[in-house]
Structure 1
Amino acid sequence: MFHNKTILVTGGTGSWGHELVKQLVDKQPKEIRVFSRNESSQVAMKREFDQYKTLKFIIGDIKEKDALIEATKNVDFVFHLAALKHVPVCEDQPLEAMKTNVIGTQNVIDAAILNDVEKVIYISTDKAANPSNFYGFTKAMGERLIIHANVLKSNTTFVCVRGGNVLGTNGSVIHVFKNHIEEKGKIGITDMRMTRFFLTIQDAIKLLFKATYESKGGEIFVMKMPTCKIVDLAKVLIEDSGKENVDIEVLGIRPGEKLHELLFSDYESQSTVYFDHEYFVILPAITVDGLQEYYASFKPVDLENYNSGENLMSRQELKTLLQKGGFIS
């Protein structure tokens, strides 16, 4: 599918973007355009991928539509990863979050349609399902814009993927916990009951490719993924560190933070189907030509919602997952 194609990756120097580019280069595309506003990350990534002549690095911000229009010329696929992603940052600066995550997404849509892009894949988050914080609200709005783009008069197909926390990404809880074990001898947890969905970065990119290859346009792809208690994650990392007397301190839930995340809500479960043994597909409330008919034979889910507080991994299963990701020995 990607052979001899031109691909644009917004936010391409982030953790998802880095792994996506790493896997895309082996698929023999004509060109991969890495679009981001982080100059130092671009320089470092350019050095790392120096042997691949198909990469082109573009400094730009998705808030600037003209820059996106230029970057999208003659592009076949757009992977839209760029976003403000940290919950406290978006709570503190909601206007900036809206400009990047909502207006920026509409700019991607407009640029893609103008340049007759074949398909746009938008990366969303579990926090967009029944959102409780501003980050979640902006990503939910981004999803709605992407889905609605399929009813516009264009040749471009738009699809969403919704994932949980990716192990080991920039600023992730694993790095924070390991740093605090080493430097402070204690870990801060907001609530001992808190749970989260986790997946490896390799599985995250697998989800992107699945949606790219098999989507019709207008749906949201969701991967079935493991869940764990955050306190169990902390205990596994403490055990692996070999340090004794590491305390776990309860800090209290931060503004907008949930005890448990959802990958689809009670409302969305009414229009969610089993795609296969690994994936769900959430169908939109609006009518997208041919989409409901295509999924008519797929089995509706028999779940009220998809909640991180259920089917939790044991501490041993969590340890195995972290070993697989290379985060513990």
Structure 2
Amino acid sequence: MFNNQTILVTGGTGSWGHELVRQLLKYDPKEIRIFSRNESVQFSMKQEFDNDPKLHFLIGDIKEKDTLIEACTGVDYVFHLAALKHVPVCEDQPIEALKTNVIGTQNVVDAAIQCKVRRVVYISTDKASSPSNFYGLTKTMGERLIIHANTLDIDTRFVCVRGGNVLGTNGSVIHVFKKQIEEKGKVGITDINMTRFFLTIEDAIKLVFKATFESIGGEIFVMKMPTCKITDLASVLIEASGKENVGMEILGVRPGEKIHELLFSEYESINTISYNDEYYVILPSIHINGLKEHYAQYQPVNLLNYNSSKGLMSKDEIKEMLQKGGFI
């Protein structure tokens, strides 16, 4: 599918971007354009990939539509990863989050349509389901803009994926906990009951490719993924560190933070189908030609919602997951 194709990755210098580019190169594309704002990170990534001639690094901001149109010219596929992602940052600077995550996403839509891109894949988050913080709200709006683009009389197709917390990415709770264990001798926990969805970076890109290869346009692809209690995760990391007398400090829930995350809500479950043993697909509430007919043979889910408090991993399973990822 990607052989001899030109691909644009917005926000491509992050953890998802690194792994996505690494896996895309296996398909022998014509060119991968990595579009981001950070010059120094681009330079480091270029060195990491041994100055691969297929990679072209573009300095730019998705808030600037003209720059995006230039980056999209001649492109076949767009993977839209660029976003402000940290909940506290988006709470403190909501206007910037709105400009980047909402207006920036619409700029990606407009640029892709103008440049006749074949397919756009939008990377969303579990925080977009029944959002409780400004980050989640902006990602929900981004999803809606992406989905709505499929109602237009155009050839470009748009699809979303929703992921949970990816193990070991920039700012990951695993790195935070390991640093706290090493430097402070205690781990800060926001709430003793907090749970989260987790997946490996490899599974995250598997989800992205699944949506790219098999979507019609207008769906949200969701991977069935493990969940864990954050205190259990901290306990496993403390035990693995070998340090004694490491405690846990309860910090309290931050503004907009949920105790449990959702990958689809009670409202969305009405339009969600069980795609196979690994994936769910959330269908839109708006009409998109041929979409519901395409999925008519699939069974609707018999879940009220998909909640991170259900099906929790044991500590042994968490340990195995961390060992597999090379984190302990």
Partner residue, 1:236? 236
Contact 1:149 1:158 in 2 (8 A): yes
Corresponding residue SS for 2:159: strand
Question: What is the CA-CA distance between 1:48 and the residue it aligns to?
Answer: 1.0
Partner residue, 2:220? 220
Partner residue, 2:266? 266
Percent of pairs identical after alignment? 74
Distance 1:263 1:131, change over 3 A: same
Partner residue, 1:275? 275
Corresponding residue SS for 1:300: coil
Contact 1:118 1:157 in 2 (8 A): yes
Question: What is the CA-CA distance between 1:154 and the residue it aligns to?
Answer: 1.2
Q: Residues 179-190 of structure 1 correspond to what in structure 2 (within 5 A)?
A: 179-190=179-190
Contact 1:25 1:52 in 2 (8 A): no
Partner residue, 1:117? 117
The 10-residue stretch of structure 1 (44-53 or 268-277) with the greater mean CA deviation from structure 2: 44-53
Kindly provide the amino acid, as one letter, of the partner of residue 4 in structure 1: N
Contact 1:263 1:307 in 2 (8 A): yes
| Residue deviations 1:91-150 (CA, integer Å, cap 9, x gap) | 000000000000000000000000000000000000000000000000000000000000
Partner residue, 2:40? 40
Kindly provide the amino acid, as one letter, of the partner of residue 81 in structure 1: L
| Residue deviations 1:158-204 (CA, integer Å, cap 9, x gap) | 00000000000001100100001011111000001000000000000
Partner residue, 1:5? 5
Partner residue, 2:94? 94
Partner residue, 1:21? 21
Kindly provide the amino acid, as one letter, of the partner of residue 23 in structure 1: Q
Q: Provide the rounded CA distance (Å) in 2 between the counterparts of 1:301 and 1:165.
A: 23
Contact 1:168 1:175 in 2 (8 A): yes
Partner residue, 1:139? 139
Q: Provide the rounded CA distance (Å) in 2 between the counterparts of 1:267 and 1:51.
A: 47
Q: Provide the rounded CA distance (Å) in 2 between the counterparts of 1:43 and 1:12.
A: 12
Contact 2:16 2:201 in 1 (8 A): yes
Question: What is the CA-CA distance between 1:26 and the residue it aligns to?
Answer: 1.1
Corresponding residue SS for 2:102: helix
Question: What is the CA-CA distance between 1:51 and the residue it aligns to?
Answer: 4.9
Q: Residues 44-123 of structure 1 correspond to what in structure 2 (within 5 A)?
A: 44-123=44-123
Partner residue, 1:163? 163
Partner residue, 1:204? 204
TM-score, normalising length: structure 2: 0.99
Kindly provide the amino acid, as one letter, of the partner of residue 95 in structure 2: L
Partner residue, 1:256? 256
Contact 2:46 2:52 in 1 (8 A): no
Contact 1:166 1:201 in 2 (8 A): yes
Contact 1:197 1:261 in 2 (8 A): yes
Partner residue, 2:150? 150
Q: Provide the rounded CA distance (Å) in 2 between the counterparts of 1:53 and 1:34.
A: 13
Contact 1:75 1:117 in 2 (8 A): yes
| Residue deviations 1:51-94 (CA, integer Å, cap 9, x gap) | 52100000000000000000000000000000000000000000
Kindly provide the amino acid, as one letter, of the partner of residue 315 in structure 1: K
Q: Provide the rounded CA distance (Å) in 2 between the counterparts of 1:258 and 1:81.
A: 23
Q: Provide the rounded CA distance (Å) in 2 between the counterparts of 1:183 and 1:321.
A: 24
Contact 1:31 1:55 in 2 (8 A): yes
| Residue deviations 1:18-45 (CA, integer Å, cap 9, x gap) | 1000111111000000000011110000
Kindly provide the amino acid, as one letter, of the partner of residue 319 in structure 1: K
The 10-residue stretch of structure 1 (51-60 or 275-284) with the greater mean CA deviation from structure 2: 51-60
| Residue deviations 1:274-305 (CA, integer Å, cap 9, x gap) | 11110000000000010010011110000000
Q: Provide the rounded CA distance (Å) in 1 between the counterparts of 2:50 and 2:64.
A: 28
Kindly provide the amino acid, as one letter, of the partner of residue 56 in structure 1: H
Aligned length: 328
Partner residue, 1:285? 285
Q: Provide the rounded CA distance (Å) in 2 between the counterparts of 1:144 and 1:69.
A: 21
Instruction: Identify unmatched segments of 5+ residues in structure 1.
Output: none
Q: Provide the rounded CA distance (Å) in 2 between the counterparts of 1:245 and 1:50.
A: 44
Question: What is the CA-CA distance between 1:153 and the residue it aligns to?
Answer: 1.9
